[in-house]
A and B are shown apart, each in its own frame.
Chain A
Amino acid sequence: MPRLEPGTGKTKWYRSDGAVAVYSALISILIGMAVGAIIVIVVGLLKSNISPAGIWEGIRLVFLGVFSTGRSGSELSFGFNGVNLGNMLFRATPLIMTGLSVAVAFKTGLFNIGAAGQFLMGTMGTLSVGLWLGWAGVPTFVAWICAFLAGVILGGLWGAIPGLFKAFLNINEVITCIMTNWIAANLVTWWFDAHEIFKNSAEGGKVGYIIPLKNVGVVTPKMFMDVLFKGSQANGGFWIAVVIAIAMWIMMTKTTFGYELRACGANRHAAKYAGINDKKNIILSMAIAGCLAAAGASLYYLSGNTEFYWSTYQKLPAEGFNGIPVALLAANHPIGVIFSGIFMSMLNISGIQLKYLTAYNEYISDIIIAVIVYLSAFSMLFKTVLSKKIRKGTGGNVNAEPSPIEVKAAEEAETEKVKVPGDFEEEVTKDFKELLEETPDIVKTESEEGGQK
């Protein structure tokens, strides 16, 4: 519970749980990008073919890559780049969906590392049904819906498998998710290998790919995205993802079912004691997570011009794993996932700009993402410490008078300022590091059950 204001009895908005989550996410992002910039500098200094000007270009692209408009003369130019921004939203679509998938499972106390497999199953369902109905001459709209649903249902069923193992046999979902990922990769390859009709043999240079859905006309409408971002791949899929995210937020916070899911996540045994069917909820949560990840795949491939390389049995799609940082950065909040998804795809675009405009390569953005995930592992702790600090001052036991020392400590904590970029510049926290060095009580996050018991 954050501190309540004496006058109004409400929490100041900048001190609420949500705001604290945003601060810690922003701190993680800043540190992550700083690490990226440091790597750019160090590598630039070590490599003889990168000049100081090249290093400066690299740093600017790391932070502002999405606004890059290429080179004019020898200088990099920046400005509004409709293609980049549109592609950013387009690539954000599957990330938002897989991020939601991970976030919803997290709320139920499950770590869904199987989004990659569910994503693949969704790909298989959508592409197969879309192509099949497209050839059969079914009206485009109906075919679109069927293709989307086919992917989603398949993904949901696939996601339910780790849920079943967890609920009935109490096997750690991490290990079953990893196994189902690789089984899915083999199954999907097997399916497309066995069905020659789906393979793109007509276009040269596209051997090994599945026929894109634009060839049969089953594509997502643009929904004004082509007007806003001319020349980009953006389409209505992004809006659909946003709507689904909002729906998930409503489901998790405003419905009984969402409450039951969160109760299972907070304490499975307590939830069971309160009469909640924990097994059902665990299975359903994983199934929903599977549906969401698969929906990401469906929206991605229903954009029409994306191609799927079918021989994927040795490689899992990156979108599946990138859902994890998206969810973590958003602190598992469905609305936050939209923004963190966009941010992640912005980093991707920056990486691509780096690759084409400088001597660096796109993997720098992966490093930044990984660093952010690493930091977000203890940003949870950071949040716990912060809210505990606030609680020490006023809340906790409402009847107990806080001791003067504690009040003083809480006041001290609040007066130290950290500048947060963007619109906020409020008194927020003590130094991040200092807080970490304080030893809090056990930080038991939702997913820490660890191992099967």
Chain B
Amino acid sequence: MVFLIQQTMLYAVPLMIVALAGVCAERSGVINLALEGIMIFGAFMGVIFVRVFQQAGWTQDQGQIIMIISLLLTGICGIAFSMLLAFSAINLRADQTIGGTALNMLAPAIVMFFIYMIVQQNTMGMAEGGAAGWFMIKPQTFGLPKGYSWGPIIDLFINKVYLTTYICIIIFVIVSIFLYKTKTGLRLRSCGENPQAADSLGINVHKMRYLGVGLSGFLAGVGGFTFSMTTANMTSNGDVAGYGFLALAVMIFGNWTPLNIAFGSILFGLFKCIAATYSTLDINGDGVFMLNELGISPYVYRMLPYIITLVVLAFTSKNSRVPKAEGIPYDKGQR
């Protein structure tokens, strides 16, 4: 059970933060289809930063510091990358779907190009060691012997988990509060609903949309780093397994509100986790791998998250609350 919850969190946290990235952009009125691309780019930059730190002589004991600094730097790279979308969508008023698709193609291309240039193979990992050894929180991190246990409840939270899980949750909460409880957040959201009205009240729509997309880039970059560290052993190969798109689905599923998104991503994380580990999953601890013995093809489990998205969308489409001005370039003269 502890294992299942921890695994679910591993899958759910990147989804949650990237889905929130989508909310930031879309609430300001820009469709961010480029989440996948930004994640790929973020994962790549994250690996680069970790390598740089390792080659600069930082040791395993400083793992958590390396991780936090890399995480922030990755977020900044995500902002930089997302500015490409912001520029085309806000200043040039280009089609946002196409702009996002372009970034989704650009990110893997650039990443693969440079990975080949740097390591002459199609996957780039850390300079030495693995993600678990360097960044996972274990009893050794606190100077305790290997195999030490705090008991089931505390183990759940601090044994064999990544600090990013908590950092991402904190960022999630901060950004949610920012969006809903601050003046700037309200202004940002108004630009996604009725930019003309917002402008008439003296809000700079372009600035707000840049803010939304930039925030989105930061969160997606952080999400990409988290994904790469927790589920891909800190490697980058120009692919995040469709997580960016799945996050978009979670965002729609969660009706563009943070709380529903948190719930949705946990649900998806659970299904993803089941798909990945169903054959060794022992839910009630009686030594019987129930899901494995049902004899259902693994592909069914793998399809489940996507099928459920479709079904849920089909049922909830009637009361979906999409931001009204989403995807429409802002035009002062339009009423």
Report whether B102 and A374 are in contact in the complex, using a CB–CB cutoff of 8 Å: yes
Provide the A367-378 mask, 1 if CB < 8 A to any CB of B, else 0: 101110110111
Assess A178 versus B303: contact at CB under 8 Å? Given A369-B105, A380-B94: no
Contacts of A170 in B (CB 8 A): 317
- B314 in contact with A165 (CB, 8 Å): yes
Q: In the complex the two chains form, is A363's CB within 8 Å of B31's CB? A: no
The closest CB in chain B to the CB of A359 belongs to: B117
Question: What's the least CB distance linking A180 to chain B, in Å?
Answer: 8
Q: Which chain B residues in 244-268 approach chain A with CB under 8 Å? A: 245, 248-249, 252
- The distance in angstroms between the C-alpha atoms of A376 and B31, with both chains bound, is 17
Please determine whether B326 and A450 come into contact, CB atoms closer than 8 angstroms.
yes
Say yes or no: is B205 at the interface (Cβ < 8 Å to chain A).
no
What mask results when residues 204 to 231 of chain A are scored 1 for a CB within 8 Å of chain B, else 0? Answer: 0000000000000000000000000000
Are A169 and B314 touching (Cβ within 8 A)?
A: yes
Taking CB atoms, residues of chain B closer than 8 Å to A113 are 101
B137 within 8 A of A: no
| A356 in contact (CB, < 8 A) | no
A452 & B94 in contact (Cβ 8 Å cutoff): no
Contact A179 B249 (CB under 8 A): yes
Q: Is the CB of B173 closer than 8 A to any CB of chain A?
A: no
Binds B, one of A6-14, A138-146, A246-254, A437-445: A437-445
B68 CB within 8 Å of chain A: no
Closest Cβ of chain B to A61, distance in Å, is 14
Interface residue A321 (Cβ < 8 Å from any Cβ of B) = yes
Chain A residues contacting B31 (CB-CB under 8 Å) are: 450-451
- Name the CB-closest residue of A to B314: A169
CB contact list, B312-335 vs A, under 8 A: 313-314, 317, 320, 322-323, 326-329, 331, 333-334
Q: From A316, which residue of chain B is reached at the shortest CB distance?
A: B242
B88 within 8 A of A: yes
Determine if B302 and A377 form an interchain contact, defined as CB atoms under 8 angstroms apart. no
Q: What 1/0 mask marks residues of chain A from 300 to 335 whose CB sits below 8 Å from any chain B CB?
A: 000000000000011100000100110010000000
Q: Are B328 and A450 in contact (CB under 8 A)?
A: yes
CB–CB B113/A443 < 8 A: no
Question: A165-B313, A169-B314, A193-B299 known; A442 and B98 CB under 8 Å?
Answer: no
- Chain A residues lying within 8 Å of B306, measured Cβ to Cβ, are 179-180, 182-183, 186
- In the bound complex, how far is the Cα of B327 from the Cα of A169, in angstroms? 19
Q: Which residues of A contact B108 (CB under 8 A)?
A: 366
Residue of A nearest to B92 (CB): A378
- Tell me if A441 and B303 are in contact (CB < 8 A): no
B200 within 8 A of A: no
The residue on B at minimum CB distance from A384 is: B93
Rounded to whole angstroms, the CA-CA distance of A367 and B37 in the bound complex is 13
CB pair A381–B112 under 8 Å, yes or no, is: no
Q: Are A369 and B109 in contact (CB under 8 A)?
A: yes
Can you name the residue of chain A whose Cβ is closest to the Cβ of B253? Answer: A175
Q: A175-B248, A373-B105, A381-B93 are in contact. Are A449 and B310 (CB under 8 A)?
A: no
Most buried by A among B93, B306, B317: B93
Q: How far is the CB of A60 from chain B (nearest CB, A)?
A: 18
Q: Check A370 against B327 for contact (C-beta < 8 Å).
A: no
Q: A336-375 CB contact bits vs B (8 Å, 1 = yes)? A: 0000000000000000000000001101101101110110
> Which B residue sits closest to A369, measured CB to CB?
B105
Contacts of B60 in A (CB 8 A): none
Chain B interface residue number, banded: 35 or more
A376 contact set on B, CB distance < 8 A: 98, 102
Contact A39–B88 (Cβ < 8 Å): no
Instruction: State which of A47, A370, A451, A452 has its C-beta within 8 Å of the C-beta of B117.
Output: A47
Q: How far is the CB of A54 from chain B (nearest CB, A)?
A: 13
Chain A's nearest CB lies how many Å from the CB of B252? 6
Tell yes or no: B186 within 8 A of A by CB. Answer: no
Instruction: Tell me if A361 and B299 are in contact (CB < 8 A).
Output: no
Q: Does B96 contact A (CB under 8 A)?
A: yes
In the complex, residue of chain A having the shortest beta-carbon distance to the beta carbon of B297: A190
| B residues less than 8 Å from A366 (CB atoms) | 105, 108-109, 112-113
Please tell me which one of the listed residues A171, A190, A373 contacts residue B98 in the complex, with CB atoms under 8 A apart: A373
Q: Which of A423-453 contact B (CB under 8 A)?
A: 436, 440-445, 447-453
B171 at the interface (CB under 8 A from A): no
Query: Does B1 lie at the interface of the complex (its beta carbon under 8 Å from any beta carbon of A)?
Result: no
| Contact with B323, one of A440, A441, A451 (Cβ below 8 angstroms) | A451
Contacting residues of chain B (66-96) with chain A, CB-CB under 8 angstroms: 84, 88, 92-96
CB contacts under 8 Å to B, within A149-184, are 165, 169-172, 174-176, 178-180, 182-183
List residues of chain B with CB within 8 A of the CB of A111. Answer: 97
Closest A residue to B315 using CB positions: A169
A377 / chain B contacts, CB cutoff of 8 Å:
88, 92, 94-95, 98-99, 102
A350 to chain B, nearest CB (A): 14
A353 to B103, CA, bound (A): 25
* A197 at interface, CB cutoff 8 A: no
Q: How far is the CA of A371 from the CA of B303 in the complex (A)?
A: 33
Q: Indicate whether A407 reaches chain B with its CB closer than 8 angstroms.
A: no
Determine whether B201 belongs to the interface, using a CB cutoff of 8 Å to chain A.
Answer: no
The answer to whether A187 has its CB under 8 Å from any CB of chain B is yes
Contact partners of A440 in chain B: CB under 8 A: 93
Q: How far does the alpha carbon of A170 sit from the alpha carbon of B71 in the complex, in Å?
A: 38
Chain B positions within 8 Å of A361 at CB level: 112-113, 116-117
Judge whether B106 and A374 touch: CB under 8 Å: yes
A-B contact pairs, 27 of them (CB 8 A): A39-B113, A165-B310, A165-B313, A169-B317, A174-B33, A180-B306, A182-B306, A183-B310, A186-B302, A328-B98, A361-B112, A367-B106, A369-B109, A370-B106, A371-B106, A374-B102, A378-B92, A380-B94, A381-B92, A436-B92, A441-B333, A442-B328, A444-B328, A450-B31, A450-B326, A451-B327, A452-B320
What residues make up the interface of A, taking CB atoms closer than 8 Å to B? Answer: 39, 43, 47, 111, 113, 165, 169-172, 174-176, 178-180, 182-183, 186-187, 189-190, 193-194, 313-315, 321, 324-325, 328, 360-361, 363-364, 366-367, 369-371, 373-374, 376-378, 380-381, 436, 440-445, 447-453
Identify 11 new A-B residue pairs, CB closer than 8 A, beyond the known A175-B249, A182-B306, A450-B31. Answer: A193-B297, A366-B109, A370-B110, A373-B105, A377-B99, A377-B102, A441-B334, A448-B97, A448-B327, A450-B322, A452-B317
